[in-house]
A and B are shown apart, each in its own frame.
Chain A
Amino acid sequence: MAGKSGATPTTYSPSPTTQNKKRPPIFNDVDWVRSDARGFHQCRPAFLRTGAVNAASGSAYAEFGNTKVIVSVFGPRESKKAMMYSDVGRLNCNVSYTTFATPVRGQGSDNKEFSSILHKALEGAIILDSFPKTTVDVFALVLESGGCDLPVVISCASLALADAGIMMYDLVASVSVSCLGKNLVIDPISEEERYQDGSVMISCMPSRNEVTQLTVTGEWSTPKIHEAMELCLDACSKLGKIMRSCLKEATSALQE
């Protein structure tokens, strides 16, 4: 069947997603409606669930609109043989996409940049002293990319770490805000991300009010960035509450 002539033939996607690079004029207006009918400062409904993967020591599934992510945590387990002796535990993060996650079929390879940002966002929250000489592996798979993939992965990963019983100072909640013309848009979808002028992503520990990771890209004015960070921190604290209630639900179901 496939590969009758040996090598697979070259193919192309029939959808014209790569052609229109031009930004729709709607985003320059002061007033427009987001394609999923949300307000500018309204996040997508968050669905979170722990215990999605039985084979892992801890796992979580997150679904924010069309963004669907699974994170598994393995360990603490023996570090690789080549690793040097270490008094504190190690954290190993890996983020990958499925081939069908994006509108155009991808290669499904590891995303190095996201992996390192995930590592930076989590390492400040984990009490690494609690598992010396060993490694905790955090593996994330983006099943479907619908915008804001990295913040969802970070929030989901901290939930999976909590499910695995890894000691942390606090859960890490992560939210991003995009700047589109004159407007600030929280929790943007893929289309809004594609045409954004700038974005800010904050990962923080809500109950300690500490930021573990902050990324700012693009063009920002000082009042705008202030407003965006306020928005992010406020949404983070609300997301943190949802994550906490998700963990509580899981344990209360366990006790019944």
Chain B
Amino acid sequence: MLGTPFGGHPLTPLCHVAGGDWRSRKKKKKKKKRFSYKNVTAPPVGEHLQKLSFIRAEALLTDKRMKMGSANASSDLSSEVEVDAFRRLFPLRFHERHLLESIRPDARPLGKARDTTLALGAVASADGSALAKIGCTTMLAAIKMEIMTPTTESPDEGCIAIDFHMPPICSPIVRPGRPAEAAPVVSKHSGMINLKELSLVYGKAAWMAYLDIYCLDADGALFDAALLSAVAAFSHLQIPVVSLNDDGRIVENGGKLEKEPVNKEKRKLKLSRIPFSLTCILHKNYILADPTAEEESIMETLVTVVLDSSFQLVSLYKPGGPVLAYTSAVQVSLHLLSSYFDLASSSQTLCCMRPHQMYQIWFCISQM
């Protein structure tokens, strides 16, 4: 006879975040729609029919938007299908129609970021870990500490190695064995961590912090989520107590106090300037904060602003894109700087609109 196998529910932080129920509900709906859409597009649509469906869908869209407020879930299925067909056939027009009314398809205003949650210590096998979730975008960051011999140029400094992974589970466009196209390189923000803190024995041993960030679910604003999870993982990092053995190697001090630990006091890293970021889409005159994957694929101009906790600009990243492309070269050179400044300031106010994130980072630090 067995005891009570597979009972109970350990409510770990990972589970809490991993299975948001409102999300799965929304997903189910989307899935149903997607399926019916496939049937719709199979035959080629004549131009007349196309125009007609466009007008009808536009009317329905307005209708749907009005219904959205009253939470009328039992709306006609056929109209839902048509709106979805419109969304897929004319994605840009679908989104621009929303932008006209200053609303987005997921019922957010233009400048509003999605809900952000953070769970520390999601992985027990790492020295520090965190799970960050911005809307549906999920990032898992974990740090493993290893020992290295410091270089001769900087004998009193440790090292940080950052890797970003897009495993095939996170998105339908990533296949195993092939590198992900849109892997955001999480830049190493100088100033946040003092590498001298990672030193153990001058010139002999120092910490190498391997930070690995895994994207578990890709739904836009990957850089923001990756940075948030990385910072949170560093704030959760607990450096193991180690001592020097007779061979000159550093070993973990497993409770036996035969050797004096090398790092008795340095168990936590001091994070001085904490960076946080916001990605925005520029489309015509609109600025959309915290885009979803769908929005990112349709409107291509992205700007990422990274600020630190004292609201100083750390970095600004704009990887090309069609916006600004049709203004003449003179205008661009004249207005580039000022528009960047405008943008930075407007994004700064947008950053302020993410109190969740700011609060959570500060909360993590205050817990240290």
A residues near B, CB below 8 A? 1-5, 8-16, 38-39, 41-47, 49-57, 59, 61, 63, 66, 68, 70-72, 74, 77, 94, 96, 98-103, 105, 108, 110, 137, 139-141, 143-146, 165, 186-187, 231, 234-235, 238-239, 242, 250, 253-254
Q: How far is the CA of A66 from the CA of B10 in the complex (A)?
A: 10
List 20 contacting pairs A-B, 8 Å CB cutoff, sorted by A.
Answer: A2-B162, A4-B151, A4-B153, A9-B208, A11-B208, A13-B144, A14-B145, A47-B15, A49-B15, A49-B18, A52-B18, A53-B138, A61-B19, A99-B210, A102-B125, A139-B168, A143-B122, A143-B140, A144-B124, A231-B2
Q: Which of B216-224, B274-282, B354-362 contacts A (4 or more CB under 8 A)?
A: B216-224
Q: A137-B168, A253-B24 are in contact. Are A42 and B188 (CB under 8 A)?
A: no
Q: Please, which residues of chain A bring their CB within 8 A of the CB of B12?
A: 47, 63
Residue of A nearest to B31 (CB): A57
Binds A, one of B51-59, B60-68, B249-257: B249-257
Q: How far is the CB of B320 from chain A (nearest CB, A)?
A: 24
Cβ of A140: which chain B residues have Cβ within 8 Å of it? 169
Q: List the A residue with the shortest CB-CB distance to B151.
A: A5
Q: Most chain-A CB neighbours within 10 Å: which of B1, B18, B28, B177?
A: B18
B142 and A100 contact, CB distance less than 8 A: yes
By beta carbon, the residue of chain B nearest A95 is B176
Q: Are A13 and B136 in contact (CB under 8 A)?
A: no
B108 to chain A, nearest CB (A): 16
Residues of A within 8 A of B23 (CB): 51, 54
Given contacts A13-B146, A141-B214, A238-B2, 8 further A-B contacts (CB under 8 A): A1-B160, A2-B159, A59-B169, A66-B124, A98-B123, A99-B212, A144-B125, A239-B5
Contact (Cβ within 8 A) A63 B21 = no
Contact among B2, B14, B150, B170 with A42 in the assembled complex (CB-CB below 8 Å): B2
> Which of the residues B149, B175, B188, B250 comes within 8 Å of A14, measured between beta carbons?
B250
Q: Contact check, B176 vs A55: say whether CB atoms are below 8 A apart.
A: no
* Distance between Cα atoms of A103 and B7 in the complex (Å): 27
Measured in the bound complex, the distance between the Cα atoms of B163 and A94 in whole Å is 21
| CB-CB nearest in chain B for A173 | B6
